[in-house]
Every structure is written in structure tokens, then in C-alpha cells.
């Protein structure tokens, strides 16, 4: 590369040699063909590791029972068969558990994001005694594992007759103690610390109160952080099963919970006790169930993907 | 009221929601959980009766219940093996995704997939049931089998669960990527003018810059695996939760021991990273 700068004019052979080298191995700002090939090979290979389970799931869920037992069929099914999805759909009680899942994830995600924004703003904008102490406490709450607090929370909620209602899910989120709330508070803290205070002050001179400044000036600007917080909270709440099944699982069943008891529900619905092997539960049916339970997340992800990645970059998720 | 005082009051008003929540949903449960672990509980019609038992349940967990110790070591092995693999892997992927090439957004979407669909039932359904880890070459396998069990166990574990481990790395890739984008291009340009090769630039600029992000990622990874509800300790704790003869207490004692162990691991992570820092300064 250095040669290219110094001896460009001197030797024609040299020039072609250098430019060929440039094309193949690349320059400082552009990757060469060979580099690119190696690049795609590595990244594609690793990417395949991530794609494989999903592909496996989709393909196998479309296999008819005859294909499953046929040793000649391993990857490409002889025909596309949607019967598994119909069975899985019924077994999951899809419409109801989908509704439950949506409510049990959107509401706490929204509450958690609101509180995190408010608290993060408070920490970023105001000086008050013991501020450092509370920040350390926030980080500490991230380290306290859920197993330590889950039993007393359970006892507390049952004292107030809140078990098997949505409240054990909503209340901690509202008060900033939901799933990984600390991370979101820190994201908002980081975000609000990094944008100029003068904007707030200008609004205050116009006579707006502190809370009005927050809702009208700060929040609209925090859009990237809000997107990150909403999406992550939503996904984490959607996928959480261990605590939620303890708190409200016997009454409100979400999709992942239904997936956890998939084999049992299948037996009660289809009662496959007869001699017909094909009516029994098989891999394809449970994979269809798995796919159905993450399908809503996948759809949201593919719609928001571009927006999401940009938001992560702009929200200063990483801090200093 | 002075401006300073008024600021302090407004500040506290803004974070008051969180402070109330912290007292009710975190601090109080934490203290209560300590109490549970040292008391025998009897659930009666009038409520819960407690009888002080001291460290009885801790002793049960450590010395009597052998299964707890096994699941604890399993989980420590899991954390110890997976964390370095995840950090190195996530850094490599982030470095690759940070360069411009055709199809980058597709690959980005692909590598963040675990963040989206990672969940207990789904992942255990997908990975542990139908897909096993890397099939090691028989020669390598016989070599590993010859090693002392202290080394053999983690290596075998990592090989068997390699893909499973990689699926934990979605958020970490994201954090590294966001970190990489903060390194200004002028730093690299200055280094190039001074004649640094890509290799040198990686070791002297990228890696030191990534150190704080690696620390954040390591802590995040340890916590993610430690809180993963399907790891063997968490399953063990959950299974004893509503035991008839010792409700809550035994589980609470086990979760405190577990918490202590996790804290120890976090401290170790911190010390390791501080050690790296020292060597850089010399």
C-alpha cells in the first residue's frame, strides 16, 4: 500500500501488480476480494450455527408423520404439511395464550420503560444528597438474583391476595423493580447525561415545570433509548416463565408456559391412546408449537430490526 | 428554598417511585429471605409461624443434601466455561460486524436472533433435545479422556454444549458493537500514519478500548447464566420451594449460598480484569 503512494508512476508492471494486490487483499478502507471471501466464509459459517436451529425447526415442523419415519427424508420434506401447525395451534390454545402473553409483556414493558425513563432522568439532571449511594444500590439490585427475592415476594403477594392476578407482574415493573430494571434505568441515565442541559433550561425559562420539561422535551428526544428499553423488556417478559408461572401461572397461561406443558396438553386434547402411531405426539408437532410461540417475537423483530440496531447505537447503551 | 435545595427535592421526587419500589420489592424481600433461611416455617390458618433454627438449613444444604453440591458445581462449571467463550466469541463477531460489507444488516439481524427467541422452554426444546454439541474427533476425545478430571470436565462440557453456549451471546455482541463504534476513526488514522499494522492496531488500540466493555459483558454474562432458570441450581432451588416439611426455608438457604458463590465469581472476574489493567501500565 505504501509502495502505491510513492512509486505510482515509475513502473507500469509495478502499478498493475499493486492494483491487483489491492483488489485481492484490499486497501485501508476497502476490503479485497480474497479477504471478503474469507470473511463471508467465517461469518457465514458462524451465522449458520445460529440459523441452524431455526431452519431445523421450520423444516421439521412442516413434515408429515410419514416423512418423519422415512429414513430417506432428512432435510427436504416430500410435501409441505400444515397438519402439525393445526394440532399445535389447538394444543397451545393459541388465541387465548397469545392474548395473555401480549398483555403480560406489553403492560410491564411499558410501565418499566416509563419508570426507568423517569428515574434515569432524575439521576441525570438533578444534584441531590446520597446520589452516588443510590446509583450503587441500583447496580447492586442487578446483582441480587431473583431466587433470593422470589419467595418473600410470593409470600407478600399472597398476603395481599394478588397471586393469580396480573399484579405481581405489573407492580414491580411500575416501581422499577421488574425484570432487569436496573439496566434500563442505567441506559436512560446514560442517555440523559449525554445530551445538553441547555435545552431543558430554555424550556424552564418559558415557565414550564420540571415534569413538563421531562414529558415535552426530554422524552421525545429519548426515542432511541425508549425503543431499546421497550423491545428488550417486551422480549424478556415474553420469555420469562419461572417466576410468572409461580405468581399467576395456574390462571393466566402465556404461550411459553403452554409450550412448557406442551406434551401433557397434547395428551389431554388428542388422547392418543389408540393403536395408531401417527396420532401420537411427535417431534414435528412440538417443533410447530415452539415455532408458533416465538413467531410473534420474530415478526416484531423483523419489522423493527433496522430501527432497533440503530437505536442501540444511538442510545449509548454501553456507557462510559 | 434555595435553588440547590429545590433541585434536591425535585430529584428525589423523580426517583421516589424507584426508592419505594426498592424498599418494598427488593430490600424487604431480601431481608425477609434471610429470615426465612434461618427459621423453620409452619404454615397455619392464622398465618406463618417461625421458629429460629440458626444455620440449620445451610448445614442441610452443604453437608446433608449431596444433590445440591453437585448442581452447584455443575452451574459453576457452566459459568466458568461459558463466560470466556462467550466474551471471545462476541468480540470476534462484533469486530466482523463492525466492518462494512455487503449483507451486513442481514448478519446483524442473524446474530441478535438469540436475544429475541432465547427463552427457557424454547431453547431447551431446540438445543438440548435435538441438537448435540460438536462431535469431537476420536483422537482428540481419547486425548481429553487422558487428562485429569479437573481439566477434563470443563473441556468436555464446553465441547458438548458449544452451540448452546454461543446462544447466550446476543446482547454481548450488541454491547461490543456499540463500544467499537465509539472508537474514533482518527485514532486508527494516527496509528496508520505512525506505521502501525492492522495487527498492532488491534492489540494496542482496539483491545484496550474494549476492556471496560469486556468487563461489563463478563458481569452481564455471569448474571445471565446465574439467573437462567433452567440451570441446575435454579431448578434445584425451585424444586424445594414448596416442600411440605420445610417450605421456603431450605430453598432460601440454598439461594443464599448460591448468591454468595455468584458474588465470589463476580469478584474474581473483577480481579482478573484489574490484573490485566496493571500489566498494561507497566
For residue A319, the model assigns a pLDDT of 47
Q: Which domains, and CATH codes, for chain B?
A: 67-118+168-281 (1.10.3720.10)
This complex has an ipTM of 0.81
Residue B52 bridge partners (DSSP): B39
pLDDT category of residue A107 using cuts at 50, 70 and 90: very high
Of all residues in chain B, what percent carry a pLDDT higher than 70? 88
CB–CB of A151 and B114 under 8 A? no
Q: How many CB pairs under 8 A join A and B?
A: 247
- What's the whole-number average pLDDT of chain A? 81
Contacts of B112 (CB under 8 A, 6+ apart): A301, A305, A308, A309, B170, B173, B174
Question: Which of B14, B133, B174, B214 to mutate to test binding with chain A, by most A CBs within 10 Å of its CB?
Answer: B14
pLDDT above 70 for B28 = yes
- pLDDT per residue over B138-157, tens digit each? 666 777 677 777 777 777 77
Measure the CA–CA gap between A266 and A212, rounded to whole angstroms.
53
- CA quadruple A245, A246, A250, A252: dihedral, nearest 10: -50
pLDDT above 90 for A98 = yes
C-alpha distances in angstroms, A251 versus A103, A106, A113, A246, A275?
Answer: 14, 18, 26, 10, 34
C-alpha distances in angstroms, A102 versus A288, B107, B123?
Answer: 20, 28, 20
pLDDT category of residue B282 using cuts at 50, 70 and 90: very low
CB–CB of A174 and B96 under 8 A? no
Of residues A37, A14, A267, A230, the one with CA closest to residue A116: A230
Which pTM was predicted?
0.83
Read out DSSP for B23-38? IIIIIHHHHHHHHHHT
- pLDDT per residue over A236-272, tens digit each? 898 888 888 888 888 888 888 888 888 788 888 777 6
Q: Which domains, and CATH codes, for chain A?
A: 2-84 (no CATH), 93-260 (1.10.3720.10)
Most confident of A60-64, B53-57, B73-77: B73-77
| Contact indicator for B175, B213 with CB cutoff of 8 Å | yes
Determine the distance in angstroms separating the CA of A128 from the nearest CA of chain B, rounded to an integer.
4
| Contact indicator for A218, A295 with CB cutoff of 8 Å | no
pLDDT above 60 for B280 = no
Q: Which of A125, A239, A242 sits opposite B238 (nearest CB)?
A: A242
| Contact indicator for B192, A28 with CB cutoff of 8 Å | yes
| Contact indicator for B24, A175 with CB cutoff of 8 Å | yes
Average pLDDT of span B230-249: 81
How many other C-beta atoms can be found within 10 angstroms of the C-beta atom of residue A196? 8
Determine the distance in angstroms separating the CA of A243 from the nearest CA of chain B, rounded to an integer.
9
Measured at the CA of A114, the angle between CA A223 and CA B179, to 5 degrees, comes to 50
Average pLDDT of span A191-219: 79
CB–CB of B11 and A127 under 8 A? yes
Q: Which of A126, A153, A260 sits opposite B121 (nearest CB)?
A: A260
Determine the distance in angstroms separating the CA of B148 from the nearest CA of chain A, rounded to an integer.
31
CA atoms within 13 A on the CB side of B122: 27
Average pLDDT of span A149-177: 90
CB–CB of A122 and B226 under 8 A? no
Residue A164 per-residue DSSP state: T
For residue B205, the model assigns a pLDDT of 87
What residues in B contact A316, CB-CB < 8 Å? 178
CB–CB of B131 and A293 under 8 A? no
Q: CA-nearest residue of chain B to A157?
A: B25
pLDDT above 80 for B209 = yes
Q: Which of B127, B130, B234 sits opposite A147 (nearest CB)?
A: B234
CB–CB of A175 and B11 under 8 A? no
Q: Which of B7, B15, B17 sits opposite A134 (nearest CB)?
A: B15
For residue A261, the model assigns a pLDDT of 82
For residue B281, the model assigns a pLDDT of 46
- What's the whole-number average pLDDT of chain B? 82
Q: Which of A188-202, B32-46, B123-137, B268-282 has the lowest mean pLDDT?
A: B123-137
Measured N-to-C along each axis, helices A94-125 and A283-314 cross at an angle, to the nearest 10 degrees, of 20
Measured at the CA of A306, the angle between CA A301 and CA A309, to 5 degrees, comes to 90
Measure the CA–CA gap between A305 and A299, rounded to whole angstroms.
10
Question: Which of B8, B24, B25 to mutate to test binding with chain A, by most A CBs within 10 Å of its CB?
Answer: B25
Alpha helices in chain A (DSSP H): 2-6, 12-25, 33-61, 65-69, 83-92, 94-125, 131-143, 146-159, 167-174, 181-193, 198-205, 210-213, 219-221, 223-239, 242-247, 255-260, 262-270, 283-314
Amino acid at each position: 500500500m505504501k509502495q502505491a503512494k510513492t512509486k505510482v508512476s515509475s513502473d507500469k508492471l509495478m502499478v498493475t501488480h499493486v492494483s491487483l494486490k489491492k483488489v485481492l487483499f484490499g486497501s485501508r478502507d476497502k476490503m479485497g476480494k480474497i479477504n471478503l471471501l474469507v470473511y463471508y466464509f467465517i461469518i457465514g459459517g458462524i451465522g449458520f450455527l445460529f440459523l441452524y436451529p431455526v431452519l431445523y425447526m421450520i423444516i421439521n415442523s412442516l413434515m408429515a408423520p410419514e416423512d418423519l419415519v422415512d429414513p430417506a427424508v432428512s432435510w427436504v420434506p416430500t410435501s409441505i404439511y400444515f397438519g402439525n401447525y393445526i394440532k399445535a395451534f389447538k394444543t397451545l390454545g393459541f388465541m387465548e395464550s397469545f392474548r395473555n402473553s401480549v398483555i403480560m409483556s406489553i403492560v410491564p414493558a411499558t410501565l418499566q420503560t416509563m419508570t426507568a425513563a423517569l428515574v434515569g432522568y432524575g439521576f441525570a439532571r438533578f444534584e441531590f444528597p446520597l446520589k452516588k449511594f443510590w446509583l450503587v444500590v441500583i447496580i447492586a439490585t442487578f446483582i441480587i438474583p431473583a431466587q433470593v427475592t422470589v419467595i418473600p415476594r410470593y409470600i407478600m403477594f399472597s398476603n395481599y391476595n394478588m397471586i393469580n392476578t396480573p399484579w405481581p407482574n405489573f407492580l414491580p415493573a411500575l416501581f422499577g423493580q421488574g425484570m432487569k430494571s436496573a439496566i434500563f434505568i442505567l441506559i436512560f441515565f446514560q442517555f440523559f447525561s449525554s445530551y445538553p442541559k441547555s435545552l431543558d433550561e430554555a424550556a424552564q425559562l418559558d415557565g414550564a415545570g420540571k415534569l413538563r420539561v421531562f414529558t415535552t422535551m426530554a422524552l421525545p428526544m429519548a426515542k432511541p433509548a425508549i425503543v431499546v428499553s421497550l423491545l428488550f423488556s417486551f422480549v424478556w417478559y415474553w420469555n420469562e416463565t419461572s417466576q410468572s408461572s409461580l405468581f399467576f401461572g395456574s390462571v393466566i397461561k402465556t404461550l411459553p408456559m403452554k409450550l412448557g406443558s406442551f406434551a401433557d396438553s397434547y395428551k389431554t386434547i388428542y388422547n392418543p391412546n389408540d393403536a395408531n402411531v401417527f396420532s401420537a405426539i411427535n417431534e414435528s408437532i412440538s417443533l410447530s408449537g415452539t415455532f408458533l410461540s416465538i413467531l410473534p417475537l420474530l415478526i416484531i423483530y423483523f419489522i423493527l430490526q433496522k430501527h432497533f440496531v440503530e437505536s442501540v447505537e444511538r442510545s449509548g447503551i454501553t456507557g462510559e | 428554598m434555595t435553588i440547590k435545595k429545590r433541585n434536591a427535592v425535585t430529584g428525589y421526587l423523580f426517583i421516589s417511585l424507584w426508592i419505594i419500589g426498592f424498599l418494598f420489592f427488593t430490600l424487604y424481600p431480601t431481608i425477609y429471605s434471610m429470615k426465612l433461611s434461618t427459621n423453620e416455617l409452619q404454615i397455619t390458618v392464622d398465618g406463618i409461624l417461625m421458629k429460629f433454627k440458626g444455620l440449620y438449613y445451610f448445614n442441610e444444604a452443604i453437608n446433608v443434601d449431596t444433590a445440591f453440591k453437585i448442581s452447584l458445581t455443575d452451574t459453576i462449571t457452566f459459568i466458568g466455561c461459558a463466560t470466556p467463550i462467550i466474551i471471545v466469541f462476541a468480540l470476534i463477531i462484533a469486530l466482523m460486524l463492525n466492518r462494512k460489507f455487503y449483507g451486513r444488516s442481514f448478519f446483524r439481524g442473524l446474530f441478535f436472533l438469540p436475544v429475541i427467541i432465547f427463552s427457557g422452554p424454547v431453547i431447551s426444546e431446540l438445543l438440548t433435545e435435538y441438537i448435540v454439541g460438536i462431535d469431537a474427533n476420536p483422537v482428540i476425545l481419547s486425548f481429553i479422556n487422558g487428562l485429569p478430571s479437573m481439566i477434563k470436565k470443563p473441556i468436555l462440557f464446553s465441547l458438548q454444549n458449544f452451540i448452546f453456549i454461543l446462544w447466550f451471546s446476543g446482547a454481548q455482541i450488541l454491547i461490543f458493537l456499540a463500544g467499537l463504534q465509539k472508537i474514533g476513526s482518527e485514532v486508527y488514522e494516527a496509528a496508520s500514519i505512525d506505521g502501525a499494522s492492522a495487527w498492532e492496531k488491534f492489540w494496542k488500540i482496539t483491545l484496550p478500548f474494549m476492556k471496560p466493555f469486556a468487563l461489563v459483558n463478563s458481569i452481564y454474562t455471569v448474571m445471565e447464566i446465574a439467573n437462567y432458570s433452567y440451570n441446575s441450581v435454579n431448578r434445584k432451588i425451585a424444586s424445594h420451594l414448596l416442600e411440605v416439611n420445610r417450605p421456603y426455608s431450605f430453598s432460601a438457604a440454598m439461594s443464599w449460598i448460591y448468591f454468595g458463590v455468584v458474588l465470589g465469581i463476580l469478584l474474581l472476574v473483577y480481579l482478573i480484569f484489574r490484573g490485566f489493567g496493571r500489566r498494561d501500565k507497566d
